[in-house]
Amino acid sequence: MNDKWQQLIMQWDGINQQLLDLMNERARMATEIMQEKQKQGIAKDTPVGNQQLLSELAAHTFANPKANKEAPAERQLLVSRQYKSEDTIIQVKHAEIGGSSHTIVAGPCAIESREQLLTVATTMKNAGINVLRGGAFKPRTSPYDFQGLGEEGLKIMKEVADETGMVTISEIMSPAQIDTAARYIDIFQIGARNMHNFDLLRAVGQTQKPVLLKRGLSATIEEFIYAAEYLLASGNSQVMLIERGIRTYEKWTRNTLDISAVPILKQETHLPVLVDVTHSTGRKEIMLPCAKAALAAGADGIMIEVHPNPQVALSDAKQQLNINEFNTFLQGLRDSGLYR
Ligand code: PEP
Ligand code: MN
């Protein structure tokens, strides 16, 4: 809290709280006065004035758009539209994210072998798609599950990228992985489980590499926006957001895809917004309609997992598309007329 504006925001919040407390107290007194008047037989309809004053005060303080505009908390978030009205477009080599065309980020859940990654990258290249994903440091629920190939996986990714011209993206889970990963990949991914890892956000924020930030498992949109703010406040403006589904009571999908987050994030921030149809749904047969919904809602791109042989995948075997399914998915998206 050493920034002047952060201190001012704290003071501002404090004043708001005091005003609310006073208004509540005033409302309570209004009732008391009415009761007293009733007891003494004074006409019920004698205006006490409190209610009206409160509405006027409320209207002035909270509903007047001009008054709202002056709220520093809103105006000063670096991720906000108020701070920067134009869309942020992220140029990574020959890929442009957040610009006039949609971006498809595809690739396996985890990098397993050179052959596996090359097969997917070649399919993507043939389809005119150029952002390849693949995990090398995998955040697995069980410590006994495949944890990813680590640096070895990133080396494979770089080789495949050099061969196919892919722009690459891979997850890092700790600040200690930043320097190693930076040597091999083009975009850092901060996964859902680390959206609240503030040390990681600050450390990635101190690099100039583009970063794709995933929404936390149970993060509100506001928390998601503040997590992105950590990156920008630390000096990195190359930030993309991705909705990947949130935890609800619903069991028929892996997570609940919050489509409403897309227009809200587009409205509230100037950052590119993508939608991960794999981890949000966990169901191959609804990925296409969900991707269409995402594009219709204004998303700048889609993330989807693809594996040459999903049945034997070392992670997320159930939900990765095989090559044919991926081609059908792409065709469906193109046929929809929503994909540009
Ligand atoms: C991933 O994209 O590889 C991943 C682990 O997703 P999430 O962080 O959204 O669970
Ligand atoms: Mn996965």
Which residues, given as ranges, of the chain have pLDDT below 70? 1-2, 5, 43-75
The terminus-to-terminus CA distance of the chain in angstroms comes to 43
Q: How far is CA 46 from CA 41, 42, 55, in A?
A: 11, 8, 18
Angle at 140 between CA 174 and CA 324, to 5 degrees: 110
Could you tell me if the CB of 139 is within 6 A of ligand 1? yes
Q: Which atom of ligand 1 is nearest to the CA of 214?
A: 9
223 CA distance to ligand 2 middle (Å)? 23
What pLDDT is attached to residue 312? 97
Candidates 3.40.50.620, 3.20.20.70, 3.40.50.300, 3.10.129.10; correct CATH number of 90-336? 3.20.20.70
The environment of the single-atom ion ligand 2, i.e. residues with CB closer than 5 A, is 109, 316
What pLDDT is attached to residue 1? 47
Q: Note whether ipTM > 0.90 here.
A: yes
Kindly identify the ligand whose nearest atom is closest to the C-alpha of 139: 1
What pLDDT is attached to residue 62? 47
Q: Whose CA is nearest to atom 10 of ligand 1?
A: 192
What pLDDT is attached to residue 26? 82
Could you tell me if the CB of 135 is within 6 A of ligand 1? yes
Could you tell me if the CB of 245 is within 6 A of ligand 1? no
Could you tell me if the CB of 172 is within 6 A of ligand 1? no
39 CA distance to ligand 2 middle (Å)? 69
3-class secondary structure, 39 = helix
Q: How far apart are CA 107 and CA 170, in angstroms?
A: 10
Which among 187, 213, 214 is the best mutation to test ligand 1's pocket, defined by most ligand atoms within 8 Å of the CB?
214
320 CA distance to ligand 1 middle (Å)? 12
